[in-house]
Amino acid sequence: MNLNSFFKSIIDSDTAPIVICDLEHTVVYMNPASITRYKVDITGKSIKSCHNANSNAKIDRVVAWFKENKDNNIIFTYHSEKENKDVYMVALRDDNGTLIGYYEKHEYRNRETAELYKTER
């Protein structure tokens, strides 16, 4: 059993965009939802190339906060009224708690309208 395959499957099946970055701000992975949303695959490039100076300063500030303490792992970054979602930056840590990267998490607030356990489409 390859545990990495399970984790990749979870990330790839998420309908929210997930962009994973290392500590040099290089995008190491974009799930299909993120490529669809942003209309570009910047894997291998700096996430900072897509942001303005103000946003890049905020990214740096959050990563510094993640580094300060192993308990600093998630921070609210903004709410989108248009999409009714909250957005967070989340720390990624290895088994020893060492910071290895980060990603952006989108939590949509719209109530699900699908029928419970409906298996037919």
pLDDT in tens, 31-86: 999 999 999 999 999 999 999 999 999 999 999 999 999 999 999 999 999 999 99
Q: Residue 120: what pLDDT?
A: 78
The arithmetic mean of pLDDT across residues 93-118, rounded, is 93
Among the listed residues 50, 24, 26, the one whose alpha carbon sits nearest the alpha carbon of residue 37: 50
Q: Are 76 and 88 in contact (CB under 8 A)?
A: yes
Q: According to the model, what pLDDT value does residue 104 have?
A: 94
Instruction: Tell me the whole-structure pTM to 2 decimals.
Output: 0.89
Pairing mode, strands 27-30 and 99-108: unpaired
Residue among 3, 48, 2, 51 at smallest CA distance from 21:
48
User: Bridge-partner residues for 74, per DSSP?
Assistant: 90
Q: Please give the pLDDT value at position 121.
A: 67
Averaged pLDDT of the chain = 95
Chain-centre distance for alpha carbon 67: 18
What domains sit in the chain, N to C, each tagged with a CATH number? 16-108 (3.30.450.20)
